[in-house]
Chain A
């Protein structure tokens, strides 16, 4: 419990703010009771959420399609340890957002605006909104694709997805929203039994992890695009904004930093396992030389995998695609709403009533509707869009990482939680690696014959 609370008078005059504070304070009361009772597992359970959600949320529609395309193109080899590396990078980045949120109790967008001014703030917001609308669109592509596998029309599956997202916002309580989405995110694990149906070789997996190979065809254009798509599948700008905002909305403090880090590490580990499982599940397509370049959507992966995984395995794969799209759509629409609320100095919390948080909920609902409408455009090139969105996410990540590093090194706001040299080395390396991967992509696009076309 905080000592020496000086309660500003406005708190008692503004019922909207009072509700937001009181709901958050109730959560803090439970945390304080668990901490004083030394119930560490319960404490971790109470404080977990933002990290697990952001990591499993990023195992979204385009990410799972990227992993499936990777498995179908390269089989079990180089990309298995590479996926682990990308999740390590994601942990490095997301851990910084936990510290920023607990040290400042402010969202990422408002920190950029307040510390660097509107010029850089609007650029950061433009990147976020652009990336979020595109990514949200691809989440509906995944929902639609999963639905198609079960014979559900695109209209019905997309409308059902929109209805579920709006219903989740209707909970009007951060803690309830978080637990509901976490429950749904648990179904990301469906890719694990799907992978077991592919009977992956333990020896091949162990060889891939130790030798970073094989890499059939070596370095070529397809390889570079998949490297970028796999990076974009784990490290994206919306994750920075989302986790920092949810850490603030959940009410985490400096005392909760250990649990916040554990939450992020557990999320990264769970998401990495699901990602590798997706690659393993789709590896039979590589072994049987199935050409995935003509696939129109994620549903085609499930259909193509049926002879190798069996009906149950393919069904799990398709259900996993729907879950991936749905959880990410809930997280990304909320990320946009938080960021817009922070930018416009509006109320931004999932603890708000609809009447109190009109702007916040409207941003989430409108972005969801816009993405859903784009997906329903006839003959839209959905699979190409899905892979391209991950590439765009990777390209937008470099400036987002620089802003994050500047904020987390800002001792005026971070105090003793500011980055040390080790974290700067790790964060800086991630930023440089991502920027160079983007440059490489530009080079192969302009000079397509530089490395050869495919494996």
Chain B
């Protein structure tokens, strides 16, 4: 495709792909936030096997 630099002026500077390729700085998570994230991770690790168990149980129960 032929380049048209004027057209790209319709994009915001932060929209250009060269700008979005630059990573944002890492954010420091507070202890409370980290604890919340860990708690929800544990929740998922417990919940998914329960769903798998329920699914297998239902399969075995059905004729």
The answer to whether A and B come from one shared complex is yes
- What's the nearest-Cβ distance from chain A to residue B6, in Å? 9
Residues on A with beta carbons closer than 8 Å to the beta carbon of B51: 388, 391-392, 395, 441, 445
| Chain-B contact segment, one of A61-69, A270-278, A298-306, A396-404 | A396-404
Could you tell me the distance between the alpha carbons of A439 and B24 in the complex, rounded to whole angstroms?
A: 35
Residues on A with beta carbons closer than 8 Å to the beta carbon of B8: 5, 7, 11, 21-22, 25
Answer whether residue A307 sits at the interface, using C-beta atoms and an 8 A cutoff.
no
- What are 11 pairs between A and B in contact, CB < 8 Å? A8-B18, A18-B3, A22-B7, A115-B24, A384-B62, A395-B43, A396-B44, A399-B44, A406-B33, A413-B24, A442-B47
- What's the nearest-Cβ distance from chain A to residue B45, in Å? 10
Contact B11 A2 (CB under 8 A): yes
Main SS at interface, chain B: helix
Partner of A26, one of B7, B37, B48, B53: B7
Contact B50 A8 (CB under 8 A): no
Answer whether residue A424 sits at the interface, using C-beta atoms and an 8 A cutoff.
no
Partner of B36, one of A381, A402, A438: A402
Contact A115 B26 (CB under 8 A): yes
Contact A20 B24 (CB under 8 A): no
Answer whether residue A45 sits at the interface, using C-beta atoms and an 8 A cutoff.
no
Residues on A with beta carbons closer than 8 Å to the beta carbon of B5: 7, 11-12
Chain A positions 52-82 with a Cβ under 8 Å from a chain B Cβ: none
- What's the nearest-Cβ distance from chain B to residue A204, in Å? 31
Chain A positions 1-28 with a Cβ under 8 Å from a chain B Cβ: 1-2, 4-8, 10-12, 14-15, 17-22, 24-26, 28
- What's the nearest-Cβ distance from chain A to residue B49, in Å? 10
Answer whether residue A29 sits at the interface, using C-beta atoms and an 8 A cutoff.
yes
Apart from A11-B17, A105-B12: 16 A-B pairs, beta carbons within 8 A: A1-B10, A2-B9, A5-B8, A7-B5, A15-B1, A17-B18, A19-B1, A105-B19, A117-B26, A120-B37, A388-B55, A399-B37, A399-B43, A442-B50, A445-B51, A445-B53
Closest B residue to A401 by beta carbon equals B40
- What's the nearest-Cβ distance from chain B to residue A3, in Å? 9
Partner of B7, one of A25, A116, A381, A406: A25
Chain A positions 136-174 with a Cβ under 8 Å from a chain B Cβ: none
Answer whether residue A435 sits at the interface, using C-beta atoms and an 8 A cutoff.
yes
Answer whether residue A203 sits at the interface, using C-beta atoms and an 8 A cutoff.
no
Most buried by A among B10, B12, B27, B33: B10
Chain B proximity mask over A419-455: 1 for CB below 8 Å, otherwise 0: 0000000000000000100110110011000000000
Residues on B with beta carbons closer than 8 Å to the beta carbon of A258: none
- What's the nearest-Cβ distance from chain B to residue A243, in Å? 17
Residues on A with beta carbons closer than 8 Å to the beta carbon of B15: 24, 105, 251, 253
Chain B proximity mask over A312-353: 1 for CB below 8 Å, otherwise 0: 000000000000000000000000000000000100000000
Could you tell me the distance between the alpha carbons of A400 and B21 in the complex, rounded to whole angstroms?
A: 24
Contact A21 B27 (CB under 8 A): no
Chain A positions 98-128 with a Cβ under 8 Å from a chain B Cβ: 104-106, 111, 114-117, 120, 123, 127
Contact B18 A384 (CB under 8 A): no
Residues on A with beta carbons closer than 8 Å to the beta carbon of B24: 104, 106, 111, 114-115, 413
Contact B27 A402 (CB under 8 A): no
Contact A412 B27 (CB under 8 A): yes
